[in-house]
Amino acid sequence: MLEGRNLKIKRGGSIILDVPSLSVQSGEILSLIGPNGAGKTTLLQALACLIKPSQGELFFKEKIVSSNHVLFQYRRKLTMVFQEPLLFDTTVFENVSSGLKIRGLKRTEIEKRVDENLERFGIPHLVHRSARKISGGEAQRVALARAFAPQPELLFLDEPLASLDPPTRESLIEDLERVLRQTGTTTIFATHDRMEALRLSDRIAVMNRGRILQIGPPPEVMNQPLDEFVASFVGVDTILTGRVSKKDKGSFLASVMGHEVEAVGEVELGETVVFCIRPENVTLSPPFPKRATSARNVFTGKIKKVIPMGLFYKVQLDCGFPLVAYVTSHALEDLELKEGKEIFASFKATSIHMVRKKLSG
Amino acid sequence: MDLILEGILKAFYLLVTFDPEVMKITLLSLQISGTATFISLIMGISIGTIVALAEFPGRRLVVSLINTGMGLPPVVVGLFVTIFLWRNGPLGFLGVLYTPTAMIIAQAIIATPIVMGISLAAIQALPKNLRLQILALGATRLQMVWILVKEARLPLLAGVMAGFGGVISEVGASIMVGGNIKGYSRVLTTATVMETSRGNFDIAIALGIILLLLAYFINLILTTIQQRERPK
């Protein structure tokens, strides 16, 4: 549906966006994730033709978006929601109808669509209120209703939930998810929250420094990050570098800071590899366990820090190399985990995602 | 003290009796300053908006010139308008010197930079992404500009007040290019100057009070609109 080729944007002599190719299928929800300044907003605005790329082409339904006329036609097919609601200084009704008025729709049609979209986002009671006198969460709902009202073929969302408090965000993301599934609108969604991305998207693109480092379905990006940056951004807390010391059929041993770690995969002897271990795959057990475990990577570690993360705890360990595990509050009590305590940590060889240094450059 | 009291009584008398001379002067003042303000609105808001939105080399210089223009001394404007409209001047053939038209021209020149400067500031003060948001709702450039002007309407109204206030109370240029001709180009300010110089303090005070009331009521109306427009 939408395809960018060789998009480059230069500012002040340096390249702030460099995307050789990106395509979005009809009905797809693509998330752009990455830290602040990764180029997510720039890419969104370039794809929405709000800023002009220094180089490259954009195709919408196989047609190049170039001349002013085509560009204008293209913009009528899309809408965008920013991080700030950017509502107009008038009533909620006038705000939601603005995109429809711009398109010159009839009054009856406008009223119908406004009602429908206020209903969708649970705010019909705000219709006659001033947009300057509603809460931040309500304002963002109005902004979303305004964006959906013209029934866009393409929807661009630039961190629309980022400045909301967690409960408001949670209820809004539920509604947004429902409306997106109902309407099947092709959406490109920039966020720095990987959980939002995981929840909403069909594909995730991880960005840094104006480039897309990896793009794929959420499980693939989460579990098989292509490099250390992607790994750390998608929530892999433990990233270890090791050298292959012993090789077997399908599995191998690598030396990580003097400790032998077993992993699976085809490697060369002496090769440097990077191990990505997700914290939810690390199991903690009391020292001197008698019970058997299928995990072959068992290490003694000292607890350095226990960090509450809401429903679970993040435990930072020193096993001779740093290791991070997630535990439930129940397990925390059960194992009497506290700083300074010694504990056994284990993870399965198959739960390690390996990045071959040679390949990732 | 008697002088002031007498003046106030006289003003009251002139007002309630609808003194034809005073009425004529007042109406002419409103007509000339109203027309000049209207012209300055069209010029000021459009150019101010363009400068606020456009990127071009030398933009900084243009903005500083507009801001300087906001404090244009009326006598200087009067001087140059007189020179231009002088019989042998570049626009002398128009034959409008010492007419209300010349006064409208001079006052419009004074008010335009005021309205322009305030429009420029008002449009620039809108959130940076608002332009992109409007375009991303499918607006043409013209629709975008119109929506932005609507968004900035409250500060723009302040521009109208400042522009009108500037010209209704201005005397230097009006006297130079209008000539203070009785029944033709005599307005409240020029009449006040004349009556004061003649020692007719009572009439001068009366005219001054009318001028003050006029300025007050016009601003009251605009302020009411502005405050009512404020979202509740």
pLDDT of residue A338: 86
DSSP A130: B
| Per-residue pLDDT tens digits for B61-79 | 999 999 999 989 999 999 9
Q: CB–CB of A50 and B232 under 8 A?
A: no
When CB atoms are compared, the residue of B127, B150, B232 closest to A86 is B127
| Per-residue pLDDT tens digits for A36-71 | 889 999 999 999 999 888 889 899 998 888 878 888
Q: Which of the following CATH numbers is that of domain A238-360: 3.40.640.10, 2.30.40.10, 2.40.50.100, 3.30.930.10?
A: 2.40.50.100
In this prediction, residues A298-306 reach a mean pLDDT of: 90
Interface mutation vs chain B, best among A79, A88, A95, A146, most B CBs within 10 Å = A88
pLDDT of residue A285: 86
Across chain A, what does the average pLDDT equal?
89
Query: Does residue A160 contact residue A192 with C-beta atoms inside 8 Å?
Result: no
Q: How many residues does chain B have?
A: 232
When CB atoms are compared, the residue of A82, A102, A131 closest to B143 is A102
Task: Report the amino acid identity of residue B219.
Answer: N
Residues 6+ apart with CB under 8 A from B106: B36, B74, B77, B78, B81, B173, B174, B176, B177
H or E segment to which residue B122 belongs: helix B100-124
Q: Does A312 have pLDDT greater than 50?
A: yes
Interface mutation vs chain B, best among A47, A89, A133, most B CBs within 10 Å = A89
Chain B residue with CA closest to A68: the answer is B140
Q: Where are the domains of chain A?
A: 2-232, 238-360
Q: Does A291 have pLDDT greater than 70?
A: no
Contacts of A99 in chain B (CB under 8 A): 137-138
Contacts of B130 in chain A (CB under 8 A): 86
Task: Report the amino acid identity of residue B90.
Answer: P
How far is A91 from chain B, CA to nearest CA, in Å? 8
Torsion of CA B61, B65, B68, B73, to 10 degrees: 150
Neighbours of A65 (CB within 10 A): 19
Q: Does B28 have pLDDT greater than 80?
A: yes
Q: Is this prediction's pTM over 0.95?
A: no
pLDDT of residue A294: 52
Q: Which two tokens stand for residue A355?
A: 């990045």
CATH architecture classification, B2-229: Orthogonal Bundle (1.10)
Q: CB–CB of A89 and B140 under 8 A?
A: no
Q: What is the ipTM of this complex?
A: 0.80
Q: Does A265 have pLDDT greater than 90?
A: no
pLDDT of residue A329: 87
Residues 6+ apart with CB under 8 A from A7: A17, A18, A19, A22, A43, A46, A53, A55, A56, A58
Across chain B, what does the average pLDDT equal?
90
| Per-residue pLDDT tens digits for B139-178 | 998 999 999 999 999 889 889 888 999 999 999 999 999 9
Interface mutation vs chain A, best among B137, B142, B232, most A CBs within 10 Å = B137
pLDDT of residue A293: 55
Query: Does residue A83 contact residue A162 with C-beta atoms inside 8 Å?
Result: yes
pLDDT of residue A146: 97
pLDDT of residue A289: 55
pLDDT of residue A232: 84
How far is B54 from chain A, CA to nearest CA, in Å? 14
Q: Does A82 have pLDDT greater than 80?
A: yes
When CB atoms are compared, the residue of A76, A80, A130 closest to B232 is A130
Contacts of A90 in chain B (CB under 8 A): 231
Q: Give the model's confidence band at B232: pLDDT under 50 very low, under 70 low, under 90 confident, else very high.
A: very low
How far is A154 from chain B, CA to nearest CA, in Å? 11
Q: Give the model's confidence band at A89: pLDDT under 50 very low, under 70 low, under 90 confident, else very high.
A: very high
| Per-residue pLDDT tens digits for B173-226 | 999 999 999 989 999 999 999 999 998 888 888 888 889 988 888 888 888 887
Q: Does A361 have pLDDT greater than 50?
A: no
Instruction: For the domain covering A2-232, report its CATH number.
Output: 3.40.50.300
Contacts of B127 in chain A (CB under 8 A): 84, 86
Q: CB–CB of A88 and B127 under 8 A?
A: no
When CB atoms are compared, the residue of B129, B139, B151 closest to A89 is B151
Contacts of B147 in chain A (CB under 8 A): 88, 98
Report the b/e string of B45-60 with b at 16+ CB within 10 A: bebbbebbeeeeeeee
CA atoms of A276 and A301, how far apart (whole Å):
18
Q: Does B47 have pLDDT greater than 50?
A: yes
Q: Which two tokens stand for residue B92?
A: 């002398």
- Strand A154-158 versus strand A353-356 pairing type: unpaired
Q: CB–CB of A131 and B133 under 8 A?
A: no
How far is A75 from chain B, CA to nearest CA, in Å? 5
pLDDT of residue A359: 43
In chain A, the percentage of residues whose pLDDT exceeds 90 is: 52
pLDDT of residue A356: 79
Interface mutation vs chain A, best among B123, B131, B132, B133, most A CBs within 10 Å = B133
Contacts of B140 in chain A (CB under 8 A): 72
